[in-house]
Amino acid sequence: MAYEEERVSTGSTSATTSLRKKVAEPLVRIGVTPDVLTVAGALFSLAAGFLFGIGEIFWGGIVLWFSGVMDPLDGTVAETRRQGASRSGALFDSTMDRYAEFFVFFGFLVYFRSGWMFYVVMLALMGSLMVSYVKARGESLGQKEVRGLMQRPERLILLMTGTILNTPLNHFLFSDCDNCTVKGTLVILAVLTNLTAVQRLIAGRRELSG
């Protein structure tokens, strides 16, 4: 969220930066801190996970979108407060990000608790956590460049898109397949997150051994 490099961003253009600042300024005036927004984002993820768990895929996607909105805002609030990044903030932010991801995937694990999709969700959760772990461990050992396809912003955007579009696409295109859109989204996540973790591991070993 605020302090982590892999935070969700609405883009780096001056227009989106200006919009975030306009939203952040009144929040700062009423005393909202970056940590409050970080916690709010995690709570939205918890609510989204609950909705996914009871089968409300569309509404879970909408709530997950609010979690994504919180992600760049805490950094903008920190800048507006002239607070800047801090090591304690970075630790708190990264920890809450991992909890937020677990909440979401746990909801899918509950919903798909019977059948092959349970294992797909497990692989997606494992891959998502390993992408972040390999990055954090590599940087702690001195790795300078940590890149990869399926970073946190891409993961969240893919999940939001797949869950929000699940109902309309299933109605118009996949009427014979129950929740085909969200299932396909989770399969893509399971494959690409683990590929990204392996990609980062290979790149990290190459850089650190050179």
No. of H helices and E strands in the chain?
A: 8, 0
Give the residue numbers marked as catalytic. 97
Average pLDDT of the chain is 85
Cα distance between residue 178 and residue 170, in whole Å: 7
Which tokens hold the place of 140? 């702690």
- What are the pLDDT digits (tens) for 44-78? 999 999 999 999 999 999 999 999 888 777 777 77
Q: pTM for the complete prediction?
A: 0.84
Cα distance between residue 72 and residue 21, in whole Å: 10
Q: Which residue has the higher pLDDT, 95 or 4?
A: 95
Cα distance between residue 197 and residue 202, in whole Å: 9
Beta-carbon neighbour count of residue 52 at 10 Å?
A: 29
Map out the domains of the chain with their CATH numbers: 14-209 (1.20.120.1760)
> Is the pLDDT score of 198 beyond 90?
yes
The long-range contacts involving 53-61, CB below 8 angstroms and separated by at least 24 positions, are 53/106, 53/107, 53/108, 53/110, 53/111, 54/111, 55/111, 57/163, 57/166, 57/167, 57/179, 57/182, 58/163, 58/164, 58/166, 58/167, 60/107, 60/163, 61/159, 61/160, 61/162, 61/163, 61/164, 61/166
- Give the type of residue at 103: F
Predicted confidence at residue 9, as pLDDT, reads 44
Predicted confidence at residue 44, as pLDDT, reads 96
Query: Which residue bears the tokens 């200006």?
Result: 18
- What are the pLDDT digits (tens) for 93-142? 889 999 999 999 999 999 999 999 999 999 999 999 999 999 989 888 88
